[in-house]
Amino acid sequence: MSDALISSTIQVTLERALSLASDRIGLLVGFKKDVASMTLSLGFIKDVLVDAEGRQNQSSGVQRWLRCLDEVAYDAQNVLDELHYESLRHQVESRNRHKLKVCCFFSFCNINLAFRWRMASKVRDIKFKLNEINQEANRLGLVSRLVMTAALPAAVGDTRSRQTDSVVAPMIGRTDDESKIVKMLLSPSEKVVSCLPITGMGGLGKTTLAKSIYNNKQIDAHFNKKIWVCVSKKVPIEELFKLILVHLTKEKVEVDVRDVIVEKIQNQLGGKRYLLVLDDVWDDNQALWDDFFTTLKGLNPTNGSWCLVTTRLGPVAHSVSRVLRMMENEPYPLGKLPDDHCWSIVKEKVVGGEEELDELKAIKKRVIKRCDGLPLAASVIGGLLSLKRKEEWQSILENRLLSWSAGGDHVKEILEFSFDNLPSPYIKKCFAYCSIFPKDIEMKGDMLIELWMAEGFLQVDINSQMMMEEIGMNYLRILLQSSLFEERIYQSITYYVMHDLVHDLAGSMSKSTKVINNGDTHIVDSGNQIRYLAIDSSGGREDREKLLESLSTSIHTLFIVNGDLSGDMLMKLKNLYVLSLSRATTQELPVSIGKLIHLRYFNIEFSAISILPNCICKLYKLQTLTLTKAVKDLPKGMCNLISLRHLYYYNDDEEFQMPLGMGRLTCLQTLEFFKVGLEKGRRIGVLGSLKNLKGKLSIHNLHLVNDKEGAEEANLSEKANLFSFRLVWAWPWYREDDNHNDKDVLDGLRPHPNLKELVIENFMGEQFPRWLMELPTATTLPKSATTLPKLARLKFKCCNRCRELHPLQNFTSLKELVIKICYGLTNLPGVMLHSCTSLQKLRVIGCNNLISFPLDLQQTPSLLKLELFKCPKLKTSMTPKGFGFLTGLRQLTIGPFSDDDDDHENSSLYNEFDWSGLISSSSSSSSAPCQLRLYGLPHMESLPHQIQYLTTLTTLTLDGFGGIKALPDWFGNLAALEDLYLRNFKELRQLPSEDAMRSLTKLKRLWVLHSPLLKERCTPESSGPDSQWSKVSHIQDLDIIHF
């Protein structure tokens, strides 16, 4: 059987080898002629590759020729890469030699002589094998075919203007299904746990529907806990419970004992109503499900929990229903989509919201027929058409889509066709590589691009100025447009996932990727050349290392989760390009890591490794280094990692110092933080040499910068791709004198106008420089600027000498403003935010001397969240007014304030607050605030009565009303209330009346903290007229604690 990806693999490998051959290797003494000869042979072979690809299914000889070529091309790439490493080593040593001023000439020459002898033998061997392959190609009659390289689709060629806060496309055609199932899940139940299987063939959208139900707001309000587990294969019951516990705790499960795991789950779910989704279930073992659901029923006595199961298999649905005697609720069979909904999906992919093209209308009926009611098929066909010219649409339908026989697996055929039509073999390799990840995993885009780059899967166009990372982003967009990837965005971070059928496709495309779980090393067929290997196992080190030894020369990528590698084994894995030791338990990295000369990607995130050997600095090809927080220091020779592009590491230890000479890492793009030092090589000017920095950067120890001129050496104004700065000075009590030059230093740190986020901490200047106020209206932009100023988040923290903040001029894009612990501020002008029409979050916290902030809220019509608390001198009469103009306010946190008469014995403290505006806003359910957090003072004896009119509140937190003895009955008016939190009510003895508490029909959570008198009255054992237990016993999530 032919390998569907082998020709793409060989083409990528050959072109990578040719690229290496042309990159300074020939300059090494003694190799110019040999490398030129090898390059010629590689070129001849590349020319006949297209012919071989077309004939491999008809000729076993061509298949053998391709397999042989794959191995030789792989060896050639490694040999040429070793030569390239030697070139980089020369570059580093030449740069360092003038610094050392002394070198051992004879030792250096001897090393090079030995290297030349060894490499000459390897090159001759490769040349001989390539000649044989050329001769065999002639015997097989393979001929050269001229193939024009197609340009990548223009529609996705430029990703820089794409909005990063986009959302996942809405589900189409399943609204009725969702409503029916949600209604079922919300209905009263006398059972501890019920189960509903959703069944149907692959591609119908079962997971998409389940995810939409899972994220439904009604579901959020009804269930205390939600758990999502992707099963995707048959697993032992202990593993199933482990997966549930991992989701609940977000932590690695260290134990394998079932009783311990179940007990931990019980601690998480005890007394709570939960929704458990088991996605993509394949096991119909009746005994397993009997055991599983019996255990679930024993976790807690609370009724109304549900388990939602998605499966393609009828027997699975029957098994899980039968266990709980749920046959009165038959499995929910998901039907096919109507034709008009399928066409909506296709049309959205092809033309978006634009007018339907005539060429698209012409093929509508035939496309709908091929969709066959499957949303996945519709999405993939739409994506395929969107990547082709409209002139090609007819031929695509006629030549492939309409030729499939009846009764075949059309979804699989459509997916394979979409894969075949990806516009580049490089993109095909990138896609197939992703099968190394588990099903349903959310993959970060940056991580994928860095892995693809490490493996050489990103095709660099010498005529283009695009960096490899930009090319990788373009590939992601193509895979997304093709519907082979789906996009999810959480908190501005983009993740990519594959449908389980698409994941199956990726895994079937190449025989060179293997994933091994729980020590199943016997599943690897030694007859296949394994290039990419993932092992997830907490035990079986001996078996693991035996397997690795058998594959040691062929592996390029190795992921080991929950395991370690010995130094001896690392030494044998000499051809590794990618190594991930996530969650390794060893504390010290073996020194043999320095022998992995091909290594480009190294990840020890979440591991226990705390010590890095200095020899890691000999990894001159390393592009991406991701370290765990356990690492205390970076090796001194970090400046030798001249290929490093991404360093993921953050260390806020006071004793930490940056390695000397980081400015030599001129390829560096990602640097999460920089700590300024006094020595040359650690000063802020180091940043000036790092011209390619992008993303986020935190700069610490700015008090060690002498003046504005010194700060300007960082050249921040020229770094157009840095969108976030955090500028941090030392805490005031660590500063040796009061002669602060912070204002001058900050003046010299003027960023590029592209900046989106700015955080300033521990700044001791009395004023901020003018550039901060001018930032959004700067008209003179550096030549490198590509967009208009877009500052969206601004934060001032611990700027204690600053007496005032001027009005923010023309900050029309500002979405969040935070002013925190700025003791010097006394007044914030009412017109401070007059231009901030896009502001959504405003937080003023811990400003102890702030007296006045008479903000007119008409200036901030987009405000969603307002926090104004822990400002004890702020007069209520000088707080913001105009809440009635806020049509979108959802969260409000206020208090305690200072009353003009200093009378804190009653609710007059809040009389001057704009309750009328807030109540006016609350009268409209579409714009009403739903969360209120109110702080009082220790001696306040009553609550502001106006709260009772905020009838749309769903969450109410009251804190610090220490003199209140009883809560008023008007609490019963808060009919929408779901969560009530009471903190620090020292004298509270009595809740509202039982009628009032029972009126709160939506209340599902009551937490009371630091209220000792109430706690003793709210227990099942309490009795008599003072007992409050009958008022709260019905509440599902009740927690009354006093420490």
Structure token digits, residue 536: 């997830």
Cα angle for residues 646, 652, 657 (degrees, 5° grid) = 75
Please report the sign of the dihedral spanned by the C-alpha atoms of residue 848, residue 849, residue 854, residue 860: negative
Is 185 inside any structural domain?
yes
Ranges assigned E (strand) in 518-623 = 532-536, 557-561, 578-580, 601-603
> Are both 284 and 365 inside the same structural domain?
no
Q: What is the C-alpha separation between 273 and 973, in angstroms, rounded?
A: 26
> Are both 245 and 296 inside the same structural domain?
yes
Is 992 inside any structural domain?
no
Residues 216 and 182 sit within 8 Å (Cβ to Cβ)? yes
> Are both 364 and 495 inside the same structural domain?
yes
Q: What is the C-alpha separation between 21 and 32, in angstroms, rounded?
A: 9
Residue 835: predicted pLDDT: 85
> Which residue, of 309, 333, 357, is where some domain finishes?
333
Largest CA distance in the chain: 103
Residue 926: predicted pLDDT: 57
Helical spans, DSSP H, in 589-707: 686-689
> Are both 219 and 294 inside the same structural domain?
yes
Residues 647 and 670 sit within 8 Å (Cβ to Cβ)? yes
Is 932 inside any structural domain?
no
What is the phi/psi pair of residue 56, to 5°? -65, -30
> Are both 540 and 516 inside the same structural domain?
yes
Please report the sign of the dihedral spanned by the C-alpha atoms of residue 405, residue 478, residue 554, residue 53: positive
> Are both 567 and 439 inside the same structural domain?
no
> Are both 284 and 393 inside the same structural domain?
no
> Which residue, of 333, 352, 371, is where some domain finishes?
333
Ranges assigned E (strand) in 667-810 = 670-671, 673-675, 695-700, 722-728, 757-761, 793-797
Return the CATH number at 546.
3.80.10.10
Q: Show Cβ contacts of residue 382 under 8 Å, excluding neighbours closer than 6 positions.
A: 345, 346, 347, 348, 349, 350, 483
> Are both 541 and 471 inside the same structural domain?
no
* SS3 assignment for 170-223: CCCCCHHHHHHHHHHHHCCCCCCEEEEEEECCCCCCHHHHHHHHHCCHHHHHHC
> Are both 528 and 621 inside the same structural domain?
yes
Residue 509: predicted pLDDT: 87
Strands 695-700 and 193-199: unpaired
> Are both 159 and 201 inside the same structural domain?
no
Return the CATH number at 329.
3.40.50.300
Residues 637 and 615 sit within 8 Å (Cβ to Cβ)? no
CA-based end-to-end distance of the chain: 69
What total of structural domains would you count in the chain? 4
Residue 783: predicted pLDDT: 44
> Which residue, of 601, 634, 667, is where some domain finishes?
634
Structure token digits, residue 748: 């010299």
The pTM for the full model equals 0.88
Q: How many CA atoms lie within 13 A of 41 on its CB side?
A: 24
Q: What is the C-alpha separation between 496 and 485, in angstroms, rounded?
A: 6
> Are both 397 and 499 inside the same structural domain?
yes
> Are both 345 and 472 inside the same structural domain?
yes
Q: What is the C-alpha separation between 425 and 432, in angstroms, rounded?
A: 11
Which residues partner with 722 through β-bridges?
A: 695
Q: Show Cβ contacts of residue 570 under 8 Å, excluding neighbours closer than 6 positions.
A: 590, 592, 593, 595, 596
- Angle between helix axes 364-371 and 339-351 (nearest 10 degrees) is 110
Is 741 inside any structural domain?
no
Q: Which amino acid is at 973?
A: N
What Cα–Cα distance (Å) separates residue 243 from each residue in 210, 249, 265, 276, 293? 18, 10, 10, 11, 15
Is 659 inside any structural domain?
no
| Helix or strand run (H / E) with residue 444 | strand 443-444
Q: What is the C-alpha separation between 104 and 925, in angstroms, rounded?
A: 81
- Flag residues of the chain having pLDDT under 50: 1, 27, 101-111, 148, 154-168, 326-327, 526, 777-788, 903-905
Is 577 inside any structural domain?
yes
Q: Show Cβ contacts of residue 884 under 8 Å, excluding neighbours closer than 6 positions.
A: 916, 917, 918, 920, 921
| Residue 624 domain boundaries | 511-634
Is 917 inside any structural domain?
no
Is 918 inside any structural domain?
no
Q: Which amino acid is at 674?
A: F
| Helix or strand run (H / E) with residue 294 | helix 286-297
Residues 70 and 603 sit within 8 Å (Cβ to Cβ)? no
Residue 817: predicted pLDDT: 96
| Helix or strand run (H / E) with residue 73 | helix 60-100
